[in-house]
Amino acid sequence: MTEAELLEKGYRKYLGKDIDVYFNTQICEHSGNCVQGNGEIFNLDRKPWILPDNASKEEVMRVIDTCPSGALQYIQKEGQKND
């Protein structure tokens, strides 16, 4: 999906240097895969709770790829994006 499509569907953007993370609270199943996958990136006790620059781009993608609901998405800055 493009950034415009994600934002139109209700995703919120969290900016990173190499990768942007998008989160849609409306479809989140609260599986905990994100916070358990990497608490440096995803931490419910801080604001903003998503900090994409707290890990490598590859680590951000790895954790987001475990999200069962699709509530988390990412777009790499080089123009590559996930489905």
Assigned domain for 9 exists: yes
- Which CATH number goes with the domain that contains 64? 3.30.70.20
Q: Are 67 and 21 in contact (CB under 8 A)?
A: no
Return the number of other C-beta atoms located less than 10 Å from residue 70's C-beta: 15
Q: What is the pTM of this model?
A: 0.91
Tokens 């990412």 sit on residue: 74
pLDDT tens, 5-39?
A: 999 999 999 999 999 999 999 999 999 999 999 99
The predicted pLDDT at position 78 comes to: 75
Domain range spanning residue 52? 3-76
Structural domain count of the chain: 1
Could you tell me the sign of the dihedral formed by the alpha carbons of 40, 3, 71, 76, in that order? negative
